[in-house]
Structure 1
Amino acid sequence: MDGCKTAATRTPMNEILSVLLLIADDWSPLAGCYGSPVIQTPNVDALAQRATRFDHAYCTSPSCAASRANILTGHYSHSHGQYGHSHSIHNFHTATSMPSIPKQLGQAGYATGIIGKLHVQPQSVYPWTHDLQKVPGGPRNVPQMAAQAKGFFDDIGDQPFYLHMGFTDPHRDFGNRHTYDGVEETKYDPNEVPVPDFLPDHPDVRAELAEYYQSISRLDLGFGLAIQALRDAGRADDTMIIVMSDHGMPFPGGKASSFDSGHHCPLLIARPGAAEVESDALVNWSNIAPTVLDWCGVEPPEGLPERSLVPILDEAHPEGWDETFTSHTFHEVTNYYPYRALRGRQYKYVRNLYPELTRPLPSDLWASPTWQAVTGQGLEMMGKRPTEAFLHQRAEALFDVQADPVEAVNLIDEPALQQVAEQMRTKVRQFRMATKDPWVLASRQAGEEGLTGGVS
C-alpha cells in the first residue's frame, strides 16, 4: 500500500482532461485481447491496441456493491462501509465520511454522469450532476445506453467530465431472451465454448457458458457504441477511457468467492495518442480512484490506501507492483463469508475470518443449472477443484497460484513454505491495521494466535 500524494506529471497542467469509465457486471477477462479463442469482442480488442492492458488486475471484493463502492471511493470494502449489496433488504451503505470520484470531481467543476447501473448508496457520498440511471429497456439495451451518453455530451458542451456507464451484461440471467433494436446477437455453440478449470465439464455448464458468452458479445457492442458517442461528441482527444468489470464471472467458484476466478478481471486504460502496452503489474480496484483523480489533475483526498496507475501506464514491467490485497465480507445480507487476502506473483495467502462457515452462494448462483448439476448429481469435483475444497476452507490458506491456478491444494502446513506463509500473514495483519479493518477488534478479542475459529 502506498497512498497517492500528488498528481503525476503527464500533461501540461493547464490542460483539463476527462474520463469515460465503462464497467461490466460479472465479466471475467474473457475477450480476444485476453487470449480467449472463441469469444468475439471486436470493440474491446480494438481498444486494447491503443491501451494499457493489465493482465493481473483484481477486484478487491468479488461482490457488486462492495466492489463498485471500492472503485468510486478508493477504499477497501471493510473500510468504506458498503460491506454488501445496497438494494432491497440488504441495504448496506457507504459511510457518509467517505470521499468519492463524483464528489471530488464535482467540487472541481466537473460534470459527473451516471448511466445505467450504480448499485451503491447514499446519494450524499455519490452526488452526480447528471443522473441517468433509468435507461429505456434497461442497461442491457446498449443502443439506449449510447443514446444516453450522447445526451450527456450534448448537455455539457466543453465542460470537463467524468462519465460512469454501468452495463448489466453479462450478469445472470444473461438477458438473451430479449430483443433490442439495433443489436445483432452473437450466439455460441455450447460444444465449442471452453470450460474453465474450476467448473465441471457438464452439458448444463456448457449451455450456461454459451449464454454468458453471448451476453459478453452484446456488452462489447455497448462498449463500442459508447466510445463512438465520445468520438461523435469531439471529446476523444482529451479523455481517458477505462474498461473494467466489478468482479469475476457469475458461476460457482467465480463471483463472491476468494479464488482468483472471482477476483481476476479485465482492465484496459486508453489515453489519447498512447500506444499498446501489456502490463504485468498486480493492481486492484483501490487504484482506480487515485488514477482518475491523478489524470484529471485533482488532488486526492488524504488517506487513500493505494497509488495512481498513471505513472506506470507506459511500462510493461513496472517495479514495485508485485502484490495486491483483497478483502470481502458480505454479498447478500445472508451471504456472510469474510476473508482478507494477499495475492503475489507465485503465492496467495487467504485469511478466512470464520472458517467454520460453509461458503454461501449468491441466490442467482445457487439456483443456476450449473450448481444444481453439482449438487443434484453429487459431483465430487468441480473441474480440478474438489467440491469440498470449494465449500469449506481452513482459517488460513496458502496457494501456489503458478503451479495450482485453481487453488485446489492448501500448502499452509508445508514445512518448506513456513517462511513464505509467515511473511504473507504478517503483511495481511499490517494491511488490516493500516486500513482500520473493523474485524480487527474481534480479532484481538479472539486472539490472533488461535487460528482455529472465530475472527482472527
Structure 2
Amino acid sequence: LRAAGYYTTNRAKTDYQFGVPFTIWDDLGRAAHWRNRRDRTQPFFAVFNIEVTHESQTFPTSPARKGKPLVTDPATIDLPPYYPDTPAVRQELARMYDNIADMDGRVGEILAQLEEDGLADETIVMYWSDHGDGVPRAKRSLYDSGLRVPLMIRWPAGMGATFVPGAVNDELVSAVDLAPTTLALAGLPVPVHMQGRVLVGPHAGPAPAYVFAARDRMDIEYDMMRSARDRRFLYIRNFQPELPYAGHIIYRNQSAIMQEWLRLQAAGLVRGAAALWMRDRRPPEELYDTHADPYQIEDLSAAAAHRDTLMRMRGAVQDWMTRIDDQGLINEPEMVQRMWPGGVQPTTAAPYIVPRMSTDAPARPATLAVAGPTELVIYVPTQGASIAWTSETGPEPRWRLYAAPILVHGPMTIRAKAIRYGYKESPETRLEVTAAAPSARD
C-alpha cells in the first residue's frame, strides 16, 4: 500500500517480535492518524488498535479499573459452562463487557472523525479483533472462544458497492484473508506468495472448506498445537499431549478468573465442565461438533461414529502444514541458529545508489555529477530487504519507501537505508548529486 502511494499509519501496537522496520509506516505512535498526512488528498491506510479491551484491562491491578464501578451486572451474565460459577469469575467477565462497551464508543469517535473530514463516503472501514475474549480459556486457545472474532466491513454506497447493508456472510474466514482483501479493495494485485483469499468485491475467492490455526510457545511455555475448523467440526492436534490444558503462563495469572480457578483446583473444588481445562494431560487429538456442542466440552476424537470425520480433518491439517511449510516442528534454538548464526543478528547490507544507465561495476560513490535529467536506482544485496530513501538532510527526515527509479534534475542529496525482518538496519548510503561541468562544446 505504501509503495502504491498510500499514507500508512498505525496507532500503535507493533507486536512483531522482530522490532519495527522503519519502511512499514509513514506514521507510527500514540498520535498516528490519517489527519497527519501533509497532502490531504493522499489516500491512506490507517490502523487503530483500541487496547481498552486487552486482557490486561480486566486485571484487578489495572490502573484503568480504578474508580470505575461496574455497569454490567455480574449476576445477569450468561456464564460459559467451562468456568467456575463464582462472584470473582462473574465480576471479571462483567469488566470485560464494560470494556467492550467503552471500545465501541471509541470506534464511534473514529467514524465521527471520518464524517467530520468528509471521508465517510469514500473510506472502507474494516473492524475485527485479533483473537477471542481476552480471558482464560479463550485467548491463547484454539477453541472457538479463542479463535472466533467479530469482523465487519463497511463499504460506502458512494463507492459503487452492491452489498446489502447489514448483510451477513457466514462463510469461513481467517485473519490471513484480511491482507489480500485489503490489497484487492485498493485495486492492487495480490502477491502470489501471500496466503489467504479475497473476501469481498469482484476478485473474491471461493469459500474454503476449512480455516486453520496454530498455537506455539506462549511466553515461557513451549507448546505446539494445530487446528482445522469446517462449518461444523473443530479438530485440534496436540503435538505435546504430555502438557496440561491450562499450562503455566505467568502474565495470565494476573487474571482474577485464573486466580480463582487455580485456588479452587488446589482445594479440590473444581467440578463438572470447569474441571476439564484443569487436567494435567491432553489427548493427541480433539474433535468437537460445534453445532451440538458450541462450547467444545465433549471431545469426540475417540467416538467410533466420528472416525471418518476425525481422519478427514487430520488429513486437512497435515496437508495445510505441508502446503505452508510449517516450521513448528523445528525447535526454537535451531531456528534462532538458522536466522542468527552464532547468535549474532545479521545486518542488512548498505544500499547502492547508481544511475539507471550505469554500465560500471556496483559501487557507492559519494558524489555523482549529472548533466541533465537522470534516473537513479537503489538496490540492496540482502534478499528480502525493503529500501527507503529521502532527499531531506535533517536528523529526522521523512523516509519514503523506494518503489521506482528516482528522477533527479540537478544538485540534491539522496540518502537511503534498508531493512530486512529480523536483521539490523543497514548503514545509510548518501549520494551528493552535483551539476556536471559544461563540456568544451557547450
Give yes or no for contact 2:184–2:203 (8 Å, CA) kept in 1: no
Output one character per residue of 1:209-243: Cα deviation in whole Å (capped at 9) or x when no partner: 12111111111111000111112112222211011
Q: Aligned letter for 1:264? A: R
The yes-or-no answer on 1:398 pairing with 2:287 is: yes
Q: Distance in 1 between matches of 2:270 and 2:114?
A: 47
Alignment of 1:18-37 (within 5 A): none
Q: Distance in 2 between matches of 1:391 and 1:284?
A: 30
Change beyond 3 A, Cα 1:207–1:230: same
Root mean square deviation of aligned Cα: 2.9
- State the structure with bigger RCO (CA 8 A, min sep 6), 1 or 2: 1
The yes-or-no answer on 1:170 pairing with 2:53 is: yes
The yes-or-no answer on 1:158 pairing with 2:41 is: yes
| Percent of aligned positions that are identical | 26
Q: Secondary structure at the match of 2:53?
A: coil
Output one character per residue of 1:235-272: Cα deviation in whole Å (capped at 9) or x when no partner: 22221101111111122211011211111111111100
Q: Distance in 1 between matches of 2:115 and 2:272?
A: 44
For residue 413 of structure 2, what is the aligned residue in structure 1?
none
Task: Select 1:190's aligned residue among 48, 51, 74.
Answer: 74
Q: TM-score, normalised by structure 1?
A: 0.64
Q: Secondary structure at the match of 1:210?
A: helix
The structure having more radius of gyration, on CA atoms, is: 2
Q: Aligned letter for 2:281? A: H
Task: Select 1:320's aligned residue among 201, 207, 221.
Answer: 207
Q: Aligned letter for 2:251? A: D
Using the TM superposition, name which of 337-346 and 169-178 deviates more: 169-178
Output one character per residue of 1:87-113: Cα deviation in whole Å (capped at 9) or x when no partner: xxxxxxxxxxxxxxxxxx111111000
Change beyond 3 A, Cα 1:278–1:361: farther
How much does 1:341 deviate? 0.7
Change beyond 3 A, Cα 1:151–1:382: farther
Q: Aligned letter for 1:370? A: I
Give yes or no for contact 2:214–2:227 (8 Å, CA) kept in 1: yes
How much does 1:406 deviate? 1.9
The yes-or-no answer on 1:353 pairing with 2:236 is: no
Q: TM-score, normalised by structure 2?
A: 0.66
Give yes or no for contact 2:123–2:156 (8 Å, CA) kept in 1: yes
Of Structure 1 and Structure 2, the greater helix share is in 1
For residue 19 of structure 2, what is the aligned residue in structure 1?
122
Alignment of 1:221-370 (within 5 A): 221-273=105-157, 274=163, 275-311=165-201, 320-332=207-219, 334-359=220-245, 360-370=247-257
Q: Secondary structure at the match of 1:291?
A: helix
Q: Aligned letter for 2:21? A: S
Give yes or no for contact 1:115–1:166 (8 Å, CA) kept in 2: yes
How much does 1:116 deviate? 2.5
Change beyond 3 A, Cα 1:246–1:362: farther
Give aligned pairs, total. Answer: 318
Q: Which runs of 5+ in 2 are unaligned?
A: 158-162, 332-442
Q: Distance in 2 between matches of 1:309 and 1:345?
A: 17
Change beyond 3 A, Cα 1:429–1:330: same
How much does 1:168 deviate? 0.9
For residue 50 of structure 1, what is the aligned residue in structure 2?
none
Change beyond 3 A, Cα 1:420–1:312: farther
Q: Aligned letter for 2:218? A: H
Alignment of 1:58-69 (within 5 A): none
Q: Distance in 2 between matches of 1:417 and 1:238?
A: 49
Q: Distance in 2 between matches of 1:337 and 1:440?
A: 10
